[in-house]
Chains A and B, each alone.
Chain A
Amino acid sequence: MVTTTEAQVEAVFEELAEKRPFWSISKDFVRKQPLGTAGMAIVLIMIFASTFAPIIAPYDPELNSFEHMLTAPNTDFLLGTDQFGRDILSRIIYGAQTALFVGFTSALVGSTLGLVLGVASAFFGGKFDLIFQRIMDIFMSFPLIILALAVVAIFGTGVQNVILAITIPFVPRCARVVRSSALAIREIPYIDAARANGFSNARIILRHMVPNVMAPYLIMITAFVGQGILLEASLSYLGLGVQEPTPAWGLMLQGGAEEYVESAPWVAIWPGIAISLAVFGFNLFGDAVRDTLDPKLRSQ
């Protein structure tokens, strides 16, 4: 039978008392993290824009109009049009969909794979850990964009392949961070207890260890979304990412932007501002999340 001591009961009460309602945590967040709140506002605006894109956008983002090629910003076309006469504002609003989709999917898949692999590597230890870490080393010795380029070269361009190309370099980066927290958790007696109970390795990893490395995992996700958006823009800019006519910010800078930079600077200016603002927002928000979840890292 399980006997509970008074101290244990107290601990449970303390834990319950610490669980504050959501709005109280949010209020604290807004007060303590003004920059993070600004970042969150940008992120929310992006999510809003991409969800309601068909309602907000004044034109069809893929509609060519040869009468309005390279029109300067005016009351009809608030941000002007590109070399095919497509409305830039509409393309930026729809571009938020592409950016968010690629950013979130690659960050989520990349860090989740990294989470499981990192925890497994720490849990099994020994030879498995050593070999696994060397493999991660090899992947990390490639610059992010070069690894992504190689993946695109194998699988071809397009939204899904870009997501894959961005996800793969994320996996070792997350696995490395998660592993180091998981190593500490492995030494806590309750893992021994779980093993003594005869639980399977998979169960110990997924039920007992993974929930305890959620803080670094969430920190990595928020950091990766911004990086993913930036990487997608870079690949699309090189012509190796999202393909025409899908509206994507990096793609809008490809081709036209440099040629027309003198005669039609608005083609180059607005998509770049959209990318910068989005990544800026995600980074500010991510920093604030990290400060809140992991006070030890606050000084960085």
Chain B
Amino acid sequence: MLPTLIGAALLVFFLMRLIPGDICEIRLAGTGLYVDEEQINVCRNDLGLNDPLLLQLWNFIIGFFTFDLGKSMWTGRAITYEIGLRFQLSLQVAFMATLVATVIAIPLGTISAVRQNTWLDYFVRAFSIAGIAIPSFWLGIMIILGLLIFTQAWFGTPWMPPIEYVSPFQDFWGNMSQLIWPAVATGYRYSAVATRMTRSALLEVMREDYIRTARAKGLMEKLIINRHALKNSMLPVVTVLGIEFAFLMGGLVVTEQVFNLNGLGKLFVDSVLQKDYSMTQALVMVVVTVAVFTNFIVDIAYAWLDPRIRYA
């Protein structure tokens, strides 16, 4: 895992510096006033952009391992502060979206497998393919539109999710009324792959001998599926959900845009566009670290779901 982290660090470091223009040019040119080379140079010196490339790289990598991510080149505040401000929101949306995906995927995938090749199965499969096809930002716009229309029709006044973020520990319902919609919009999309995975894994397990044995001793079909088949078919599903959770952290970019959420995805887009090197680097490292860490958790979940793996 360490080589992946270091590789990602190198990639983002050089990728960012390939981008023509730097933060000083953008910031000073943005003021609209006449700017001379001298001022840009001062700015570059301040931010350490005139240091040798290898020194900058060294500072970045050492900073990452000592949890000192430095300051944002754009706002001047500590990166840990800027990320901390948004991490909770993104983590919560990612978590809720995964929950929505699980709640949709496992029952639907099970039904689809049990009733294989019936109209119900075709419907579920079409529903899950539609989940991949519908862009989550458009689904978000449609959800907002739907809310506006229905609240107008039922309560007489149009209602939109609040824009200001509140912590779920302060105001649980206020928090939910804002974040449940983006979670549904992304969760539906991510349920698609998991639904198909549940279906195919369950179909495979249902062909095993021990299922036939369970049937032969006269167990109820419900019991066979819930106790015997489902648990063993969860392995690939957990993998898919885990991988998607890791990518959700960074992949929320478009959904946050639609719902106007101030999360990590939005911060990422902004810092790329502002050529805020230190911030972009830190964010990429956070996303990749979460991905690596999630993989680790998924591995542990394997051992819990399938005790054979522990002795393998």
Contact = CB atoms under 8 A, between A and B. Distances in A.
Interface of A: 35, 134-135, 137-139, 141-146, 149-150, 153-154, 226, 230, 233-234, 237-238, 240, 250, 253, 257-258, 261-262, 265, 268-269, 271-272, 275-280, 283-284, 287, 299-300
22 contacts: A141-B291, A142-B8, A143-B247, A143-B251, A144-B251, A146-B284, A149-B268, A149-B272, A150-B16, A154-B20, A233-B135, A238-B254, A238-B269, A240-B269, A268-B145, A269-B142, A269-B145, A276-B135, A279-B132, A280-B129, A283-B129, A299-B200
A276 B3 contact: no
Contacts of A287: 129
A224 to B, nearest CB: 13
B258 A275 contact: no
Contacts of A272: 134-135, 138-139, 141-142
Interface residues of B, number: 51
Q: Which of A150, A265, A276, A287 is packed against the most chain B CB atoms within 10 Å?
A: A150
Given A153-B273, A226-B133, A283-B129, A261 B148 contact: yes
B15 interface: yes
Contacts of B190: none
A141 B247 CA distance: 9
Q: Which of B129, B139, B287 is packed against the most chain A CB atoms within 10 Å?
A: B129
B145 A265 contact: yes
Interface string B1-19: 0011001100110011011
Query: Which 10 A-B residue pairings sit nearest by Cβ, starting from the closest?
Result: A272-B138, A280-B133, A279-B133, A138-B7, A143-B251, A300-B200, A143-B250, A276-B134, A143-B247, A153-B272
A279 B200 CA distance: 22
Q: Tell me if A's interface is mostly helix, strand, loop or mixed.
A: helix
B9 to A, nearest CB: 9
Q: Tell me if B's interface is mostly helix, strand, loop or mixed.
A: helix
Nearest to A146: B250
B126 interface: yes
B281 to A, nearest CB: 11
A258 B141 contact: yes
B240 to A, nearest CB: 11
B257 interface: yes
Nearest to B140: A258
A240 B269 CA distance: 10
Interface in B12-53: 12, 15-16, 18-20
Contacts of A142: 8, 250, 284, 287-288
A287 B141 CA distance: 28
Contact of A141 (B133, B138, B268, B288): B288
B204 A299 contact: yes
Given A150-B272, A250-B135, A299-B200, 19 more contacts: A35-B122, A138-B8, A141-B288, A141-B291, A141-B292, A142-B287, A146-B251, A153-B272, A237-B257, A253-B138, A261-B144, A261-B145, A261-B148, A262-B158, A272-B139, A272-B142, A277-B133, A287-B129, A299-B203
Interface of B: 3-4, 7-8, 11-12, 15-16, 18-20, 122, 125-126, 129-130, 132-135, 137-139, 141-142, 144-145, 148, 158, 196-197, 200, 203-204, 247, 250-251, 253-254, 257-258, 268-269, 272-273, 275, 284, 287-288, 291-292
Contacts of A233: 135
Contacts of A134: 3-4, 7
A35 B125 contact: yes
B257 to A, nearest CB: 6
A234 B258 contact: no
A230 B133 CA distance: 8
A191 B32 CA distance: 65
Q: Which of B20, B139, B253, B268 is packed against the most chain A CB atoms within 10 Å?
A: B253
Contact of B253 (A137, A145, A278): A145
B112 to A, nearest CB: 12
A265 B250 CA distance: 29
A134 to B, nearest CB: 6
Given A145-B251, A299-B200, A275 B138 contact: yes
A234 B137 contact: yes
B143 to A, nearest CB: 10
Contacts of B4: 134, 137-138, 141
A233 B133 CA distance: 11
Contacts of A299: 200, 203-204
A154 B18 contact: yes
A154 B19 contact: yes
Contact of A154 (B15, B122, B258, B288): B15
Contacts of A258: 141, 144, 258
A174 B254 CA distance: 25
Contact of A234 (B135, B139, B144): B135
Contacts of B272: 149-150, 153
Contacts of B16: 150
B253 A268 contact: no
B284 A135 contact: no
Contacts of B3: 134
Given A146-B253, A237-B257, A253 B273 contact: no
A20 to B, nearest CB: 25
A275 B288 contact: no
B279 to A, nearest CB: 13
Contacts of B126: 35
Given A35-B122, A261-B145, A287-B129, A145 B135 contact: no
